[in-house]
Amino acid sequence: MKEIPTSQQYTITPIGTVHSCFGEKFAVPRQPGLVPSARGYIELTPPFNHPDMVVGLEDCSHIWVQFLFHQCLDRGWQMKVRPPRLGGNKKMGVLATRATHRPNGLGMSVVRLTNIETTHQSVRLHIQGLDLVEGTPVVDIKPYVPYADSITDAHYPFAQEKPDIMDVYFQDAAEQHLTLAKPNLEDRQWLRQLIIEVLQQDPKPAFHQPSPEREYGAKLGGHNVKWRYLNQRIEVTAIE
């Protein structure tokens, strides 16, 4: 673990907390926008929980969320990391990647802003397409400004396209679990779509060679979702 000298330290205070459909770090998408059905909200915390803080933001379609990779901070940072997009076996400088184990543990994601709910003491920014786990501390929010932030000739040679996706299939038992888990049709359709979009990204670490017996699981949309790698596709086995 590498540490930063105390003489160079500044204090940063989170302004809010993410409440996310991703209950644990495993299976959170590797970038924002890869799972459009992902949803959650940012709850501003005192003294930042004042409606005045967000006046005008309701007219913006997307926001930059700057946050702390709080579940990794205790493991410090690394100069070189193995990005999953490179198969997990090639090392790159941390600053050439979007990896979590970075100096200061700061992340940034562009997400869709669907709604802002305010009362006199509560401000909630509802967001979609997030790649953030439940409880992520938010340190700043800014509007996404297309003319400045969308760079049409930008390139990142290490991952030029979105990752390939896998086929996802629900076993009969999982379909039944889904009906029990979400009796309301709209909720059920959303959870099904969320599971498909998440698993299509193949959340397992790149170096895993899963046997058909091995069951994976993650907390998605408030449910424990289980799956296996069978027949070159992902099969959802249970939703609890």
Contacts with ligand SAM by CB under 6 A lie at 25, 28-32, 69-72, 98-100, 107-109, 131-133, 136
CA-wise closest residue to 225 among 19, 85, 88, 22: 22
> Six-digit token pair at 173?
């038992």
- Decide whether 26 or 169 has the Cβ nearer to ligand SAM: 26
Tell me which amino acid residue 74 is: D
- Decide whether 111 or 174 has the Cβ nearer to ligand SAM: 111
Q: How far is the CB of 120 from ligand SAM (least distance, A)?
A: 29
- Decide whether 34 or 230 has the Cβ nearer to ligand SAM: 34
CA-wise closest residue to 65 among 33, 35, 92: 33
Q: How far is the CB of 183 from ligand SAM (least distance, A)?
A: 30
Which residue's CB atom is positioned nearest to ligand SAM?
107
Q: How far is the CB of 199 from ligand SAM (least distance, A)?
A: 14
- Decide whether 51 or 143 has the Cβ nearer to ligand SAM: 143
Q: How far is the CB of 51 from ligand SAM (least distance, A)?
A: 26
- Decide whether 205 or 212 has the Cβ nearer to ligand SAM: 205
Q: How far is the CB of 130 from ligand SAM (least distance, A)?
A: 9
Query: DSSP readout, 85-143?
Result: GGTT-S-EEGGGS--SS-GGGEEEEEEEEEEEEEETTEEEEEEES----TTPEEEEEEE
Say if CB 136 and CB 65 are below 8 A apart: no
